[in-house]
Amino acid sequence: MMKNRTQEKEVVFIDGARTPFLRAQTEFKTCTVYDLGRYVVSGLINATKLEGSHIDHVYYGNVIQDVNTHNIAREIALAGGLHGSIPATTVSMACISSNIALTMATEAITTGSIESAVVGGVDVMSDIPIRFRKPFRQKLLETQRYKKPTDWLKFFKGLRPSDLLPEIPSISEFSTGDTMGKSCDKMVAKYGVSREEQDAYALKSHHRAHEATEKGMLNEEIVPVPLKNGKSIIKVDNGIRGDSTQKKLSTLSPAFIKPHGTVTAGNASFLTDGASAGLVMEKQRALDLGYKPKAVIRHFAFVAQRPGDELLIGPAFAVPKVLDAMKLKIDDIDVFEFHEAFAGQMLTVLKALDSNDFAKKRLQRNKKIGKIPEEKLNKWGGSLSIGHPFAATGMRLVTTAANRLIREDGRFALIAACAAGGQGHAMIIERYQG
């Protein structure tokens, strides 16, 4: 957690960008993380008129990693148009990977190690690495020691037919074996969140995102992506369902715990392809270079607890930390941008923050944090409707929050997200008034 030291340098958020977020196996299915990452970084460079000499480091998140681009930050930086002398670091913290990329840059700037950075994240769920099972992988590695053709006669010795089957990465928790959806089902049952509440929340997310798209609210943050040698230009998110209804959502079957679970494909975020990027600088350097910041990074926190039936409740623990550090209350916040992994996860977090019982038993506080106003939360939609390319979501939240602060003439924005492994994050940014 960043300490509140009065002598530290201020870190400003100049601007952010993202590709359209598309459902996996749709238009971006031929793309790689390298492709989407370089598009969004080059888009950020164009939008900010960024010069390579202005950047000291690149921090970039990626969850589903490809061995061919194991340091995807470096490959994206080079291909995206940044100078080859700029170091680049790839980071991974599940769904808050671009959040940790941003905070690593922030800490480096506040301590004077660097003065500026490009940060962000990318994941392409249409292109996950599928490998052979370990016994077959070991056999393949042994072939490097083969000297003559007859050595291949022993290749299949000891292998079973099942060893030849592909090994598809699991999206379940390694420590528990449960998927996020199953964990969410357990959590909503524990906190008494109904199926109807979850469907209603998901519906609101889709309708808000649809309205924001129709009014052009999201255009400022989206970098169009050319496909098929420029014959096709992707400009908008394709997972938003503006025509969805509560009745349609109510017909969907439980996706994880059957037949009595309440988490469905309709009230959960979908597998998504997309990338994001942002530019942060030490305030005085940004002003000297002629940049106009959008916001100041004020405070952030990361939390964690053992995975289990509260895998995704992290924001309920992280939000109080940043509010306390800034001596703020819920009523002082003008814009809330929370990651919507599942409608049930969001509703559980909101219930916990507004619960005196949760405050006393889990936060060791005398009273609840407070009720987050519905009209201030995810006003332009969220991950349920826009999509969730794991590592890219955090920077989308910050970019949207900064843009909303300006449009809505607000001062403070609160960003929060849950992540695999029982982790969570919260951050407060303040609209730049210089």
Active site residues: 95, 418
List the structure tokens of 419: 């992540």
Dihedral of the alpha carbons of 31, 35, 41, 44, in degrees to the nearest 10: -50
List the structure tokens of 136: 């077959």
Q: Tokens 């808050």 map to which residue?
A: 96
- Phi–psi pair at 130, nearest 5 degrees: -110, 125
Dihedral of the alpha carbons of 320, 321, 325, 330, in degrees to the nearest 10: -20
Sign of CA dihedral 350, 355, 360, 364: positive
Distances from the Cα of 145 to the Cαs of 49, 136, 156, in angstroms? 52, 15, 15
Give kind and range of the element (H or E) at residue 96.
none
Nearest to 187 by CA among 349, 33, 69, 389: 349
- Whole-number Å distance between alpha carbons of 336 and 408: 12
In the beta sheet, which residues pair with residue 118?
Answer: 58, 279
Are 17 and 40 in contact, with CB atoms under 8 Å apart? Answer: yes
- Whole-number Å distance between alpha carbons of 79 and 82: 7
Output DSSP code: residue 93. Answer: B
